Amino acid sequence: MALLATLVLPSLSAAEPLSPTQARAWCFGTGKISSDQRIEGCTAVLQSSPSDAMALANRGETYRRKGDPERAVADLNRAIDLNPKDAVAWYNRGIAYDDLGDRDHAIVDYTRAIRLRPSDPLYYNNRGNSYSAKNDHEHALDDYNQAIKLDPKFALAYYNRGSAYREHQDADRALADLDMAIKLDPNYGPAYGNRARIFRDRGDRTRALADFGKSLELNPNNDRDAYARANIYLDQHDYVLALADYDRAIKINASYAGVFNARCMTRAILGQLQEALADCEQSLRMRPNDPYTLDSRALCYLKLGNLDAAIAGYDTALAAKPQLESALYGRGIARRRKGDADGAERDIAAAKAINAGIADEFAHYGVE
């Protein structure tokens, strides 16, 4: 990006047009220039100079940063047509295509940026991300390796390579890279979150909880890590802590049905049965006929003493997933309470054949 000397200008009223000097300062300058000012300045420059490639590139990049990739691509298309040797414009259009989910076009643009400026590790890192999104593990690792070779202190590239290793079950290499990312940038929250997942998968809940805690301290609005930590608390029967994290995750992002189901289950265990039912219904509106949510809702009915509804609910869950041991066991308990000893024995035996510890799990739920 072409830059003028740092200049902070006062805001202008909407009715007052920008002078050419002010327009160029906002379009090309550094300092305390907001995204809206940058766009306004570049727009004013383009009104008088429609073929100013740098103004188009700067406005396109700003649109991208504001979350408007369509406008970004439109401006960057024109900028690249006018100046096809602008590596930054190719790079920024690649990011915009990534934001649109168009990985193939993104890779093409990053590749062109790399040809123009092969020494920039960011270009390799971002192309690696696009390859990773296409599940092209080999090419992604090649790019992350090159980014790290160019900049051995590039924490983000270590994080991305470590995350790619983790997704492909290479936990040792993943852990080494995430350790390095954290060493280079101790305040990089996502690295703690992904390292926590490795510890969790290895059964080291203590270190997993510590890393999830650090991630959430650095980024309190990380709903994925709040949800993941809640699941650990749920597994170790810390239901109050689990509920607090499910509440947190839903407050941040209420678009995932699985979190509502998890909170339904937790509330049911804690005896908050009406609230639990409301969560299960919300989960089913988002993901109809999900067997796990149907199972959770049936548990609510069981704990409420509504045995007919519980049996019907477990029947529906088992129709969707016939070997769901919790639904078999729950239906067995409901049948036993209804006086159907033979049906109860069959269901409970089938559940224990799948999971020998199912009775202990239900004891934690308050059902015996």
Q: With 60 as the cut, is the pLDDT of residue 279 above it?
A: yes
CB 286 within 8 A of CB 260: yes
pLDDT tens string 144-177:
999 999 999 999 999 999 999 999 999 999 999 9
Question: What pLDDT was estimated at residue 3?
Answer: 36
d(CA 205, CA 196): 9
31 pLDDT band (50/70/90 cuts)? Answer: confident
- Residue partners of 299: CB distance under 8 A and separation at least 6: 265, 268, 310, 326, 330, 365, 367
pLDDT tens string 180-221:
999 999 999 999 999 999 999 999 999 999 999 999 999 999
CB 348 within 8 A of CB 332: yes
Q: Which amino acid is at 261?
A: N
Mean pLDDT calculated for residue range 16-42: 93
Q: With 90 as the cut, is the pLDDT of residue 8 above it?
A: no
The Cβ of residue 77 has, within 10 Å, a number of other Cβ atoms equal to 15
**Pick from 30, 52, 1: which is nearest to 9 by CA?**
30
**Pick from 349, 324, 353, 323: which is nearest to 336 by CA?**
349
d(CA 79, CA 68): 17
Residue in the block written with tokens 């003493």: 305
Structure tokens at 314: 């477990």
Q: What is the pTM of this model?
A: 0.86
pLDDT tens string 33-74:
999 999 999 999 999 999 999 999 999 999 999 999 999 999
Question: What pLDDT was estimated at residue 16?
Answer: 72
254 pLDDT band (50/70/90 cuts)? Answer: very high
Question: What pLDDT was estimated at residue 45?
Answer: 96
Percent of the chain at pLDDT exceeding 70: 96
10 pLDDT band (50/70/90 cuts)? Answer: very low
As a whole number, the mean pLDDT across the chain is 95
Q: Which amino acid is at 280?
A: C
d(CA 68, CA 61): 10
In Å, how far are 115, 251, 314, 321, 332 from 359, measured between CA atoms? 62, 33, 16, 20, 11
**Least confident stretch, 16-20, 202-206, 282-286:** 16-20
Classify residue 142 by burial, with Cβ atoms within 10 Å: 0-12, 13-18, 19+: middle
Percent of the chain at pLDDT exceeding 90: 94
